Amino acid sequence: MHKTILITGATSGLGLALAQRLSTQPGLHLVLPVRNAQRAEQLRAALPHASLSTPLLDLARLDSVRSFAPQLSAPLDAVMFNAGVQSADAVIRTADGLEQSFAVNHLSHHVLLRALEPLLQPDAIVGWTASGTHDPKDRVAKNFGFLGAHYLAPEALAQGQYASAPNAAQINRDAYASSKGLNVLSARHFAARELGQRRYFSYDPGLMAGTGLAREQGVLVNLVWKYVMPVVSKMLKGTSTPQGSAQLLARILLGQHALPNGAYVEFSGTQNPPYLPAQESIYTEQLMAFSDRYIFA
Ligand SMILES: NC(=O)c1ccc[n+]([C@@H]2O[C@H](COP(=O)([O-])OP(=O)(O)OC[C@H]3O[C@@H](n4cnc5c(N)ncnc54)[C@H](OP(=O)(O)O)[C@@H]3O)[C@@H](O)[C@H]2O)c1
């Protein structure tokens, strides 16, 4: 088997656990984009037996995203858009003037997918790491103050304009949950327009306490997230670990676990109905048209 799989956000958390799991597969080459040379070095040390390349990519900069794809040449058998950020108490804008979680979690992955399309194998598998936080009914997410995705006009999402949020912390929770809703919509959109054999899915890894996702929170929250929550979460239903959630994800990307095209699947294998906008196809067309504008902008 000679396959190539590209994973964004493989330097920590779920992405690293996934890369570690895949690195034991014979004949598999991993393309693991990183933000800088230091991250590349750390990743190579963590994956001593992998066949891998670590090209530079900063998803918070559209110029970096646009110049990334032309550096690649190998056909891709699978791509996992896994990198993600969650802001804390201040709304953060990227160098392009966009709200950070919209830019990194949705828009840059969209622009990247468009650029990678010519490199995808005819039967390629493409996934997005979404999150239960996009669903306003998700009980675990509610406990952390998430209210679900807000399917606002793309222009408002891009600017982080959540009029109902009372403060920056809630704007950031809304922006994160919304970006994860857009991940679900993206998988469903590309699946719906697929005429060939490519497969698209979105993945809910469950709550995985202790990952780097809380890095923008204060010291105390980080300590609780890293050292207390991994113990407490073992007692909560619907929670996981990076290693646990990487198991099914690896099988999906290797083509060993088939899914209906466009599926939203949880780490347990359950396919829960995702939370969608009232008029999904109209909304998603607008979102895609808006996002496509950034391919060359
Ligand atoms: N942890 C959870 O409970 C949970 C639950 C549901 C969904 N998720 C989703 O799971 C995915 C992985 O998150 P995680 O929990 O494993 O968090 P993590 O440990 O913080 O991993 C995030 C990854 O994204 C990368 N990344 C962030 N910003 C980037 C940028 N501008 N350019 C390139 N790479 C960037 C990070 O790279 P650096 O090392 O360079 O920062 C890191 O490799 C995310 O999409 C997250 O939304 C997590």
Q: What residues have CB less than 8 Å from 69, skipping those under 6 apart?
A: 112, 115, 116, 119
CB atoms near residue 267 (< 10 Å):
21
Structure tokens at 18: 């996934």
Please indicate, yes or no, if residue 297 is contained in any of the structural domains: no
Return the ligand 1 atom nearest residue 58 CA: 32
Q: Which residues, in sequence order, are bridge partners of residue 52?
A: 30
With the most atoms of ligand 1 within 8 angstroms of its CB, the residue from 62, 81, 129 to mutate is: 129
Please indicate, yes or no, if residue 261 is contained in any of the structural domains: yes
Write the DSSP string, 201-236. EEEE--B-TTSGGGTTS-HHHHHIIIIIHHHHGGGS
Ligand 1 centroid distance, CA of 254 (Å) = 21
214 lies in which domain range? 3-292
Q: Is the CB of 13 under 6 A from ligand 1?
A: yes
Contact 133, 143 (CB under 8 A): no
Please indicate, yes or no, if residue 214 is contained in any of the structural domains: yes
Domains held by the chain: number:
1
Task: Provide the pairing of β-strand 76-81 with 199-204.
Answer: unpaired
Domain at 225, CATH number = 3.40.50.720
User: Residue-wise pLDDT tens for the chain (297 aa)?
Assistant: 699 999 999 999 999 999 999 999 999 999 999 999 999 999 999 999 999 999 999 999 999 999 999 899 889 999 999 999 999 999 999 999 999 999 999 999 999 999 999 999 999 999 999 999 999 999 889 989 999 999 999 999 999 999 999 999 999 999 999 999 999 999 999 999 999 999 999 999 999 999 999 888 889 888 989 998 899 888 888 799 999 999 999 999 999 999 999 999 999 999 999 999 999 999 999 999 999 999 976
Please indicate, yes or no, if residue 196 is contained in any of the structural domains: yes
Contact 295, 114 (CB under 8 A): yes
